[in-house]
Structure 1
Amino acid sequence: MKWITRYNLICILTLFIVSCKDTRTKINEDNSHAKAPDGMVWIPGGVFEQGATSNDNMTMHHEKPRHTVKVDGFFMDVMEVTNKQFAKFVEETGYITTAERAIDWEDMKLQVPEGTPKPHDSILQPGSLTFKKTKSTVPNLYDFSQWWHWTIGANWKNPSGKGSTITNKDNYPVVHVSFEDTQAYCQWAGRRLPTEAEWEYAARGGVHNTIYFWGNNKDMLHKNANTWEGEFPVKNLKLDGYERLAPVGSYSPNKYGLYDVSGNVWEWTSDWYNLNYYQKLFNSNTIADNPGGATEHYNPNNPYNMEKVIKGGSFLCSDSYCASYRVSARMATSMDSSMEHLGFRTVLDLHK
């Protein structure tokens, strides 16, 4: 499935990309059995089969083939990074997110097809992507411009655009954060983003052959995740209790104690998105030892953007659209993209 970029939505264009170096905080090996840092839990290492299970009839091509992966142990945030946590980071550093910055057409046009006309200045204003329900049935669910809109003034502090606020939403996941924004936060916090393999391993919670982190029973979905029930994108039945975002930790955790690994908001990983990556690992016929993802990005459906893998699905995922609340689900998104259903959580290494 072709994923959303600013190019697709702003007439349709992308912002500049800044790639930040991973910051890996080392912990002395003697602390391996010590209490986890506040807000984190220890994920014990192990070997698992990454990718879609054979009994998953919603599998997308890029979730296959299944391949064997070894992951060392690490600490992981129990919940997605919240507005309160991100606000503290901004207060201490003065950081300005991608969605809040002026748009430079000279930088932008380097990442779109040659000859792409410059949009009107009224459109080239700081903002982000927001969701809006449609009034009637959508015949083509691949035309995401029907429900995604470029909203000037939308950012982490104003998630629905000008006039909106995160007042009384300290414990909601921060959204409208680009990959660059997550890297800045991680550097400040002394953390890093999880790799895709680490994320999926942790999300499975030690249960490695099921479609969902709680098992294979889809009827349990509304009790375990904030997703879209009903006709997408027309009517959300809110069986899970929420129309859009839910506060972090609103549902039961997986067996490792992680909340919201299914639904609520998508989560950034550090891996490049490469359509051929899973096949390459499978063809190697070896156990992938702590894989850090593909060495380069590759997506023939979106050749002009450098994309990272995101995991977990969001409150917009439904059976009819993407069903990405499944543990193996993965999507590609441009590093500069920020949306109202995309956030992140961090990890911390234990180095020998």
Structure 2
Amino acid sequence: MKLNYLILAIAFVFCSCQDKKNTDTLADNTDAVPANKPKGMVWIKGGEFMLGNSSADAANTEGPAVLTKMDGYWIDETEVTNDQFEAFVKATGYKTVAEREIDWEEMKKQLPPGTPKPHDSILVPGSLVFAPPSGPVPLNDYSLWWAWMPGANWRHPQGPDSDIKGKGNYPVVQVAYEDAQAYAKWAGKRLPTEAEWEYAAQGGKDNQNFAWGNELTPAGVYQANFFQGDFPYHNTDADGFDRLAPVKNFQPNGYGLYDMIGNVWELTDDRYRPDTYKMYKTSGMRECHSPKGPEVSYDPNDPYSPKRVIKGGSFLCSEQYCSSYRPDARMANSEDSGQEHVGFRCVKDKN
């Protein structure tokens, strides 16, 4: 056990970390906004913040919080939209993971040894879609509201009978990590690290429950697109949307960024581990500086599948279920998986 722990520790890109119980405001800095602002991007100046959450309400995977120093960077003001992704596809001829034929030899590498091969009728291009049940179901089995849909992809988010006509300003979904990486490279950008994403999502409100303050719906006003009602079978649509919303529909955060919370989970470049922050805290160094996450992913609930961190929650986040509409919330997503509620935005370095 000690040897395994040491191997896992060495697998991390170490940052330096120290504890700080009260950090109510971001540190002052002189990180001036660079010239030549990229279109549709916002400059996030460097500073300090608390990465993660040490409160009693936080999930075990979200803490302990670590004081983190960030360098400045550019970030997309919105999630990448269908129009933007379509421009990339037209320019490159790119085919997403959900549109490709399935290679069983590759797929079984991410499954427990001895997993039998499904029937060929199942091994066809497709993706996962939200399929709400007709009534209450146990909330410990997500297969009761998710379904594999042949023909589901970014052009047809809910299956072959759906399309994105008239939804060019909606976030692109059904994209896997590889697809998001390809778009980012074409656009001269990259995917954000988990720390970059969380720092930007806070909008300058460190140690607040939500990106806009401590109340989920201040004065009864919805600040993001998430699930209201009885999850997963009855959405009251109190925020005005049953599923996805167009970008820029809700107020931006303190940095001028839209939909960092809700709408779609957003892919980051960091590999997922449930104990990432614990490893940061035990690194033995004094300060955490722009961490880039572990070198190897591991999810004890699905140990054969490489995963990346997703952030921000989605239109399916509910007070009854995941309540992940917080900057410090984090989940895992298989690298080869596209889903109806997962999208992304990009960042760009100063130079």
Contact 1:50–1:328 under 8 Å retained in 2: yes
Query: Matches of 2:237 and 2:308 in 1, distance apart?
Result: 30
1:211 has 2:209 as partner: yes
Amino acid at match of 1:42: W
1:97 has 2:96 as partner: yes
Query: Matches of 2:253 and 2:217 in 1, distance apart?
Result: 17
Name the counterpart of 1:51: 52
Q: Is the partner of 2:174 in helix, strand or coil?
A: coil
Superposed CA deviations along residues 120-155 of structure 1, whole A, max 9, x for unmatched, are 1111110000001111111x2120100000000000
Query: Matches of 1:52 and 1:98 in 2, distance apart?
Result: 34
Name the counterpart of 1:27: none
Name the counterpart of 1:194: 192
Contact 2:54–2:64 under 8 Å retained in 1: no
Q: Is the partner of 1:150 in helix, strand or coil?
A: strand
Name the counterpart of 2:261: 262
Contact 2:217–2:223 under 8 Å retained in 1: no
Q: Is the partner of 1:308 in helix, strand or coil?
A: strand
Contact 1:176–1:338 under 8 Å retained in 2: yes
Name the counterpart of 1:26: none
Amino acid at match of 1:36: K
Name the counterpart of 1:24: none
After TM superposition, the structure 1 stretch with the greater mean CA deviation from structure 2, 196-205 or 221-230, is 221-230
Query: Matches of 2:73 and 2:324 in 1, distance apart?
Result: 25
Name the counterpart of 1:146: 144
Aligned residue runs from structure 1 range 25-40, under 5 A: 32-40=33-41
Contact 2:261–2:314 under 8 Å retained in 1: yes
* Aligned sequence identity (%): 53
Query: Matches of 1:240 and 1:53 in 2, distance apart?
Result: 30
Q: Is the partner of 2:108 in helix, strand or coil?
A: helix
Query: Matches of 2:261 and 2:36 in 1, distance apart?
Result: 26
Query: Matches of 1:168 and 1:153 in 2, distance apart?
Result: 20
Aligned residue runs from structure 1 range 66-105, under 5 A: 66-105=65-104
Aligned residue runs from structure 1 range 1-352, under 5 A: 32-52=33-53, 54=55, 57=57, 59-138=58-137, 140-220=138-218, 223-283=222-282, 284=284, 286-351=286-351
Contact 2:33–2:45 under 8 Å retained in 1: no
Report the CA distance between 1:181 and its aligned residue.
0.1
Contact 2:60–2:274 under 8 Å retained in 1: no
Query: Matches of 1:236 and 1:192 in 2, distance apart?
Result: 35
Contact 1:270–1:308 under 8 Å retained in 2: yes
Q: How many residues were matched structurally? A: 319
Name the counterpart of 1:15: none
Amino acid at match of 1:89: F
Amino acid at match of 2:172: V
Please provide the CA RMSD for this pair: 1.5
Superposed CA deviations along residues 45-66 of structure 1, whole A, max 9, x for unmatched, are 1111111253x63x21100101
Report the CA distance between 1:264 and its aligned residue.
0.1
After TM superposition, the structure 1 stretch with the greater mean CA deviation from structure 2, 287-296 or 77-86, is 287-296
Contact 2:247–2:258 under 8 Å retained in 1: yes
Report the CA distance between 1:219 and its aligned residue.
2.6
Contact 2:44–2:73 under 8 Å retained in 1: yes
Report the CA distance between 1:32 and its aligned residue.
4.2
Superposed CA deviations along residues 87-122 of structure 1, whole A, max 9, x for unmatched, are 000000000000000001111112211211110111
Amino acid at match of 1:224: Q
Q: Is the partner of 1:224 in helix, strand or coil?
A: coil
Question: Normalized against structure 2, the TM-score is what?
Answer: 0.88
Amino acid at match of 1:288: C
Report the CA distance between 1:163 and its aligned residue.
2.1
Contact 2:66–2:281 under 8 Å retained in 1: yes
